[in-house]
Structure 1
Amino acid sequence: MSNPIFSEKTIREGVANYGTPFWIYDRATIEKRIQELKCFDTVRFAQKACPNLSILSIVRNAGAVVDAVSAGEIIRALRAGYKACENDKQVPQIVYSADIFDHDAIELVKKHNIHVNVGSADMIQQLADAGVRSNLTLRVNPGFGHGHSKKTNTGGPLSKHGVWHSQLKDCVKLAQANGMWITGLHMHIGSGTDFEHLATVCDAMRDASRRLGSHIRMISAGGGLPIPYKEEEKGNRIDIQAYYDLWDKTRKDIAQSVGHDVALEVEPGRYIVAESAVLVAEIRAVKKQEDKLFYLVDAGFNDLVRPSFYGSYHGISIVSKDGRELGPEQDVIVAGPLCESGDVFTQEEGGYVVTRKLPTAQVGDFLVLHDAGAYGSAMSSNYNSRRFAPEILQNNGKLEVIRERQTFEQLMENEKIVSL
């Protein structure tokens, strides 16, 4: 598998300058994906996918706004240059869109006048108790969901997300009783896009809008836009225009019903950043377990957890350390360094380990995990006391560090040894 975004020369340069493992992002790819979505009135980046400050700054410069699902993400958005909302007539540059308020989050929402996409009646009451009086968006659980994994399904009775569709009127009454109006509707029911299923979601949005009356000013299609992770899918990208057309018709139907214009927003995370980045690791062992061949690399699920957590597929390629031609393909299992049997990059949902056709490689060659920009670095951990890998940006042909490799001192800086 090849990735035209990053040449083999660039991969080797990255290894020479920063060691392994490391993440590398391409600015132009991020900007291109945002441009593809500009048919929507508002493109709102789900920063949970990749919250690095430089990435947020690129997204902002390209004309997209952001959501935040924690106090920390509000701070990140402000640090990256996004502004608090001055009045309800503006498109908010930051929207807090989580299932609860913790105490830090509600304080920041009040201090900076952050627009809120509420997911429960309790959130409305907590805003009122904090003295907040503002327009709100309401996240709706329409009673069904959809996703490429059970863990990415965000609708239906087993999902914690959103206000159950039959409770919408109660939330409207509660908001109005506290001097607030619900002016927006948000509906995100999982990742992946099936257009037949999407039509059902649009119907649910129309139905939900009828329960809000004429105050609705905006609808959000949510996120979940897929990208082609497998090589054979690359020629079958999602049809953004067809996706927009379905939602645009929904918006127009609602606008006709309420008697005024209704804005249309989309909230992607994966679509904007996934294809912009790869994770580069070094092969540290080549070994046989009976008839199975393993490449063991110096990146693990502490770096990229998606294969272990979701059974997600990431394309894999090999770059030789010295520029030599690689040997013929073999069936290989790719695994990491962690003291965990589940630390395997070639596995499917349910933990089933599978092989991948990869060139014959040697210790010291470099293994590249593709399309890793979304929920890659963002979900990294210090498990096994491993350090966070550096993040590098390919910016107009140059490589720039946008996060340094964590030091061992930083790994332990907030810990202390008690007196014994």
Structure 2
Amino acid sequence: MKMQPKDLLQLSEQFGSPLYVYDAEKIKSQYNRLTKAFSKVEKLRINYAMKALSNVAILQLLEGMGSGLDTVSIQEVQLGLHAGYSPERIFYTPNGVSLEEIEEVNALGVQINIDNLSILEQFGAKHPNVPVCIRINPHVMAGGNANISVGHIDSKFGISVHQLPHLVRIVENTKMNIVGIHMHTGSDILDIEVFLYAAEILFDAARHFKDLEFLDFGSGFKVPYKKDDIETDIEELGKKLSKRFNEFCTEYGKNLTLIFEPGKFLVSEAGYFLAKVNVVKQTTSTVFAGIDSGFNHLIRPMFYGSSHHIENISNPKGKERFYSVVGYICETDTFANNRRISEINEGDILSFRNAGAYCFSMASNYNSRYKPAEVLWMNGQGHLIRAHETFEDLIKGQIGLPQIADAQ
């Protein structure tokens, strides 16, 4: 049952605002769309990139559909295990972490993915028999904001494809057990042909290793953020990459597993962020709609310059006017400038689309504000999956000065 504005309005009344809402059916449909697009590949694995949205209920929803997990920290690994994932269904792809953390994760039995020569050599020398995946930087960007692109020559992510001879030498000297090759070209893939070109670089790298079990093509699939917005054509990519992947497997002499690690693609469009209008403020040149939230709850517009469609669900059919939607943070805190929205009155509820990815997961307590609740819309009902923070949450773990003085 597709969510309607009236459903969101009812949830804001039931659970308060601000509020994050996730549509379980949309998450399921995106997962099924991706698996269907690559149905011609015999061995396909989807690892959800949980940094996008790491609520345990969301992890459990995807686990029930057969998804694995892509994690970037030991804490994400532990959350995945807590949510019910078996270790072999969890991939760990960190960046810039210590050898000690990698060894801690390895002890948990998950798949290690290493993205720099220094740690690769150290880990291989100590643990030559542990199955390891190598993260390659193909130096190809298939689109995306400069702040979130990872395929360029100066990126901190991955081992440069130009360092492949050095990489091979390390593997030969340590006799490491390399079972997979991974790449990531960035986020918001616009050009499928560029992605396919990067895939050829991955195939070339894979030929240097004779005992691979899988190739991981990352993700970065673009989703639409506004009407008529461009998005990655998953069906076309599935058709073209599946054909080329199957050809490579024949050439390699082994049926490898094709892995993707989508995050935003699975959860972005499923998410809505609801906020109440505190004040409508007319200045000499602008009408501001000030809401009971800020970039402490949805940082993407300020951080990435991203655009989130905003709808006044309290007055969806009202006459459209131009508003600048701003937050209550004591700093420049703008969600939208000069945006056409149905007429706004104080007390109205605004709904921000595409709030499933990198919204709650990047939220903070800046200005000592509480983080909002999270609700999962499933089977026509809203289910609370994270409670709204309280003052007790805010001070938890803090040690006041009188207690320090008493201890002395």
Relative to the length of structure 2, the TM-score reads: 0.92
Task: Give identity over the alignment, percent.
Answer: 30
1:383 aligns with 2:373: no
Aligned to 1:274: 268
Aligned to 2:293: 299
For residues 316 and 366 of structure 2, what CA distance do their matches in structure 1 show?
35
**Equivalent of residue 160 in structure 1, options 149, 153, 156:** 156
1:61 aligns with 2:80: no
Counterparts of 1:343-362 in structure 2 under 5 Å?
343-346=333-336, 354-362=337-345
Aligned to 2:20: 23
1:330 aligns with 2:321: yes
Aligned to 1:38: 35
For residues 171 and 103 of structure 1, what CA distance do their matches in structure 2 show?
18
Deviations 1:294-348 (A, max 9, x none): 101011111011100000011100022xxx675311111111000111x1111xx
**Equivalent of residue 185 in structure 2, options 185, 189, 197:** 189
SS in 1 for 2:290: strand
For residues 257 and 8 of structure 1, what CA distance do their matches in structure 2 show?
52
Report the CA distance between 1:172 and its aligned residue. Answer: 3.2
Report the CA distance between 1:237 and its aligned residue. Answer: 4.8
Do the aligned partners of residues 237 and 325 (structure 1) sit closer, same or farther apart at CA in structure 2, a change above 3 Å counting?
A: closer
Q: In the alignment, is the contact (CA less than 8 A) between 1:202 and 1:246 conserved in 2?
A: no
**Equivalent of residue 227 in structure 2, options 221, 228, 231:** 231
Aligned to 1:319: 313
1:404 aligns with 2:387: yes
Report the CA distance between 1:81 and its aligned residue. Answer: 0.4
SS in 2 for 1:184: strand
Do the aligned partners of residues 326 and 333 (structure 1) sit closer, same or farther apart at CA in structure 2, a change above 3 Å counting?
A: same
For residues 224 and 330 of structure 1, what CA distance do their matches in structure 2 show?
35
Letter in 1 for 2:79: R
1:222 aligns with 2:221: no
Counterparts of 1:32-181 in structure 2 under 5 Å?
32-39=29-36, 40=38, 41-85=44-88, 93-102=89-98, 105-128=101-124, 131=127, 133-181=129-177
Q: What are structure 2's unaligned runs of at least 5 residues?
A: 39-43
SS in 2 for 1:30: helix
Report the CA distance between 1:20 and its aligned residue. Answer: 0.7
Do the aligned partners of residues 283 and 157 (structure 1) sit closer, same or farther apart at CA in structure 2, a change above 3 Å counting?
A: same
For residues 183 and 18 of structure 1, what CA distance do their matches in structure 2 show?
47
Letter in 1 for 2:323: V
Report the CA distance between 1:183 and its aligned residue. Answer: 2.1
For residues 334 and 152 of structure 1, what CA distance do their matches in structure 2 show?
25
Relative to the length of structure 1, the TM-score reads: 0.89
Deviations 1:118-162 (A, max 9, x none): 101222234346546312111111123243210111012211000
1:203 aligns with 2:200: yes
Report the CA distance between 1:176 and its aligned residue. Answer: 4.1
For residues 282 and 132 of structure 1, what CA distance do their matches in structure 2 show?
56
Q: In the alignment, is the contact (CA less than 8 A) between 2:99 and 2:123 conserved in 1?
A: no
SS in 2 for 1:399: strand
SS in 2 for 1:45: strand
Q: In the alignment, is the contact (CA less than 8 A) between 1:209 and 1:254 conserved in 2?
A: no
Do the aligned partners of residues 243 and 326 (structure 1) sit closer, same or farther apart at CA in structure 2, a change above 3 Å counting?
A: closer
1:395 aligns with 2:401: no
For residues 2 and 326 of structure 2, what CA distance do their matches in structure 1 show?
25
Report the CA distance between 1:104 and its aligned residue. Answer: 6.4
For residues 306 and 122 of structure 1, what CA distance do their matches in structure 2 show?
33
Q: In the alignment, is the contact (CA less than 8 A) between 2:187 and 2:219 conserved in 1?
A: yes
SS in 2 for 1:20: coil
Do the aligned partners of residues 29 and 138 (structure 1) sit closer, same or farther apart at CA in structure 2, a change above 3 Å counting?
A: same
Aligned residues: 396
Q: In the alignment, is the contact (CA less than 8 A) between 1:279 and 1:372 conserved in 2?
A: yes
Report the CA distance between 1:116 and its aligned residue. Answer: 1.0
Letter in 1 for 2:146: K
Letter in 2 for 1:122: S
For residues 258 and 103 of structure 1, what CA distance do their matches in structure 2 show?
32
Do the aligned partners of residues 176 and 114 (structure 1) sit closer, same or farther apart at CA in structure 2, a change above 3 Å counting?
A: farther
Do the aligned partners of residues 131 and 259 (structure 1) sit closer, same or farther apart at CA in structure 2, a change above 3 Å counting?
A: closer
**Equivalent of residue 10 in structure 1, options 7, 10, 28:** 7
CA RMSD of aligned residues (A): 1.9
Q: In the alignment, is the contact (CA less than 8 A) between 1:46 and 1:66 conserved in 2?
A: yes
For residues 220 and 303 of structure 2, what CA distance do their matches in structure 1 show?
17
Q: In the alignment, is the contact (CA less than 8 A) between 2:178 and 2:209 conserved in 1?
A: no
For residues 125 and 200 of structure 2, what CA distance do their matches in structure 1 show?
34
For residues 105 and 412 of structure 1, what CA distance do their matches in structure 2 show?
28
**Equivalent of residue 331 in structure 2, options 325, 340, 351:** 340
Q: What are structure 1's unaligned runs of at least 5 residues?
A: 86-92, 347-353
Deviations 1:80-114 (A, max 9, x none): 100113xxxxxxx0010111333663243232121
Do the aligned partners of residues 104 and 77 (structure 1) sit closer, same or farther apart at CA in structure 2, a change above 3 Å counting?
A: farther
